[in-house]
Each structure stands twice: as structure tokens, then as C-alpha cells.
Amino acid sequence: MKLPYHVGDSFELPLGNGESTPATIVACHHHFVDIAVADRQLRVFDDALVLHRWQVQRGEAVPRLRFATLGMTMSPARTERTVAASLGVGTFDDATRAVYEMHDGITDAYLGSLPSGALLAWTIPLADATLERVRSRVASRPDTRLRLHDAAALQVSVFANVAFQELTLAGPCSLDVPFAHVRELTLDAPFAQAALAEIFPAVTTLRVAAGAKRVDLHAVARMRHLEHLDLSHVSAAGETLESLAPLRSLRALRVARLDEMRSLRGLDALAGLDTLSLEHLYLDTVALLPQCTSLEQLGLYGMWQLTIDDVAWLHELPRLVRAEIDIGGRRKNLELYRRARWAYPWPTF
């Protein structure tokens, strides 16, 4: 198969923060390439080049290299992070990645030293005095995020009247008081979802993950402020996306590995949807997708049952600007990208 790159091509390597840096292909192998970038040579899987995520420019000279290739073959995403780090470019705030484990004995001075947006997590319930210190810290810094695992989730009610924006429940609990300020909610444990809209009235981003076991789409549909919805590795109890029709504000939807979901019926009713990711679903058909003319970003991952003809409509979606397609087989995916007006991948959901 003729690939869309060769030795000597150059391209702009994204750094994850809107910036890029020049890179050059110095050697081609089976499914991976060596690239010269930022005074080093890296061995990288060629997916991003095959799918035109990294757009090549022809005819550039191959630089003379005096350094050895890194032995490990890296993914495109890891390459971007590695190069960004070597150039001193921050692709994310430290607080976004750092998790600060809470435990009995932490001091007010330590809590006060934590950065903006810090993620506070604990698994074992905290003593009352420690819990009050954490509560005071959250109350003074509304950008603080909380993640409560296992039995620690039983202490979440202490924060009901505190203004903070992001909460992850990774342990079973029951709630009967509203959390009026929470904007982002992740459920990664069994939870009585019937009253979600009443308990979390202001949530705009909801993630329901494997630990929750199931998702009640009718309950989710009552969360009228939802803009982003992520469902992965859970059971939908035979419901279809038709249940989400009341979500007029929904802009982004990810549905991953819901084995029992066979139909996209009702998806076309989500008139404001501009970002859609369908991952490893065994759908009977994707015939409704061409009617989703509001889509600007689309991901089809692990949809190996589809053929090129099944997704030929991709090139006709009027607003589509970014897409990442995996319908099984490099030849199929490459052919779709060659025909497309869109090329660069969308951000991670």
C-alpha cells in the first residue's frame, strides 16, 4: 500500500497547547517511522501520519543526525507529550494531573499550599477534625475537585452546602440533599440515579463509568442543563438514545462499549449535538448519522463491522471539520482520510 509519507517529509508536531514544532521523517519501517524533532530522534507508530493527523510537507532535506534513536516505539500522543516536556512546554496544569491523597494528620498549612484546581481524594473515611479541615479548604477554593472512593463516599454529604464544581463518586452512597454548585459529576459506583436531576440540578458534564454498572437514561434526560455526556462500560437496560431527546442543551456525547446498544434511534433528535464519539459498539446500522447535520466532530472507534460504503456520507456532512475513523483495517481508514476535507483529529473527549 502506498503510504502518504516518505523519508524527507517534514511536518508540524503538535505540542498539546496549541503550539507545534518542526519534525522530519528520517527513516520508514513497517508501521512506524523515525522522526527528528527537538534535537532528538524518536521512533513512532505511524498512525498519525497515515490518518493525516500530522500533515506532511514534501521535499524537505533530511537533517544530519548525531544522536541515537530512542529504542522504544512510541505512540503519537506520547511523542507529543515527550517533545513538549523536552521543550519546556506545559501541555496541562500540574493540578490537572496531580492527585492529593487526604489522610488523618494533614495540616491547614499543607491544604493551603495546594495549587488551584487540586484534586483531593481519599478512600478511608477521615476523622471529623480532618474532614472539617478539608471542608474549609474546599469552601475557600471553589475550583477544588473531589474524588471519594469506597467507604469515603459516605462522607460526601458534608460538602453539600459548599461551593465546588467537580465531584467523582467511586464508592456507594445515597444522597437526599442537593449539591447546587457541582458542574461536573462522575459516577463510578452504583448509585440510585432516579433523583439525579434533583440532587445535582446544575451539572453540565456527566460521566457514568464502569463502576456504576448501569445508567438510567430517563433519569439522565431530566438533567436539563447537560452539555456533555459520557457513558462507558455500563448497561443501559435496553434503553435507546431516544430517551435523551429532552436534552436540548447537549453538545457532546460519548458512548463506549455498551454491548447491548444496537440502535442509534433518537440520535437525530439531539439537534444541538456537535461532538459525537461512538466506540466499540455492535450497531445494526449507522444510517441515522447522515441526518445529524449539526456534527462538527465525529469519532468512530472499533467499528470494524462497517465498510467504506457504510460511511460514505461522512464526506457530505456540511459542518464536519474533525474526524477520527477506525472502521477496521488501515486501507479502509486511509481511503476515507484521502477523500476527506477534514484531517486533524479532535481533542480527547
Task: Output the domain CATH number for residue 142.
Answer: 3.80.10.10
Q: Is residue 335 part of a domain?
A: no
Tens digits of residue pLDDT in 60-103 = 555 554 445 556 788 887 888 788 878 877 544 444 457 899 99
Tens digits of residue pLDDT in 297-334 = 888 888 888 888 888 888 888 888 777 788 877 777 77
Q: Give all strands of the β-sheet with 297-301 in edge-to-edge order.
A: 99-101, 119-122, 145-149, 166-170, 184-187, 205-208, 228-232, 252-256, 275-279, 297-301, 322-325
Domain that holds residue 76: 10-86
Judge if 32 and 145 occupy the same domain.
Answer: no
Give residue 239's pLDDT: 80
Q: Is residue 37 part of a domain?
A: yes
Q: Is residue 316 part of a domain?
A: no
- Pair 40, 74: CB distance under 8 Å: no
| Parallel, antiparallel or unpaired: strands 10-14 and 20-28 | antiparallel
Q: In whole angstroms, give the CA distance from residue 134 to residue 146.
A: 10
Judge if 31 and 129 occupy the same domain.
Answer: no
Judge if 127 and 80 occupy the same domain.
Answer: no
CA angle 258, 264, 267 (to 5 degrees): 115
218 DSSP assignment: H
Judge if 110 and 177 occupy the same domain.
Answer: yes
Judge if 103 and 48 occupy the same domain.
Answer: no
Judge if 71 and 218 occupy the same domain.
Answer: no
Q: What is the pLDDT along the chain (349 residues), one digit of tens a residue?
A: 467 888 899 999 988 666 789 999 998 888 889 999 988 899 998 888 877 778 888 765 555 544 455 567 888 878 887 888 788 775 444 444 578 999 998 999 999 998 888 899 999 999 999 999 999 999 999 889 999 999 999 999 999 999 998 999 999 998 989 999 999 999 999 998 999 999 999 999 999 999 999 999 999 999 999 999 999 999 987 788 889 999 999 999 999 998 788 888 888 888 889 889 999 888 888 888 988 888 888 888 888 888 888 888 888 888 887 777 888 777 777 777 777 776 544 444 3
Judge if 67 and 113 occupy the same domain.
Answer: no
Closest CA to 259 of 287, 232, 241: 232
Q: Please enumerate in sequence order all residues whose Cβ is within 8 A of that of 117, keeping only pairs 6 or more positions apart, or say none.
A: 93, 95, 96, 143, 144, 145
Q: In whole angstroms, give the CA distance from residue 21 to residue 11.
A: 8
Judge if 125 and 203 occupy the same domain.
Answer: yes
**Percentage of the residues of the chain whose pLDDT score is greater than 90:** 42
Residue at a domain's end among 86, 119, 150: 86
Alpha-helix residue ranges (DSSP H) falling in the chain: 47-50, 76-86, 94-97, 108-113, 128-140, 196-199, 217-220, 330-339
Q: Is residue 337 part of a domain?
A: no
Residue at a domain's end among 63, 86, 109: 86
Residue at a domain's end among 270, 288, 311: 270
Q: 168 forms bridges with which residues in the sheet?
A: 147, 186
Average pLDDT over the chain reads 85
240 phi and psi angles, rounded to 5 deg: -115, 170
Q: Is residue 26 part of a domain?
A: yes
Q: Is residue 297 part of a domain?
A: no
Q: Is residue 338 part of a domain?
A: no
Judge if 114 and 163 occupy the same domain.
Answer: yes
Judge if 113 and 249 occupy the same domain.
Answer: yes
Q: Using CB atoms within 10 Å of the CB of residue 330, give its burial: 0 to 12 exposed, 13 to 18 middle, 19+ buried.
A: middle
Judge if 145 and 250 occupy the same domain.
Answer: yes
Give residue 60's pLDDT: 52
Q: Is residue 283 part of a domain?
A: no
SS3 track for 227-290: CEEEEECCECCCCCHHHHCCCCCCCEEEEECCCCCCCCCCHHHCCCCCEEEEECCCCCCCCCHH
- Number of structural domains (the chain) is 2
The pTM for the full model equals: 0.75
Judge if 117 and 213 occupy the same domain.
Answer: yes
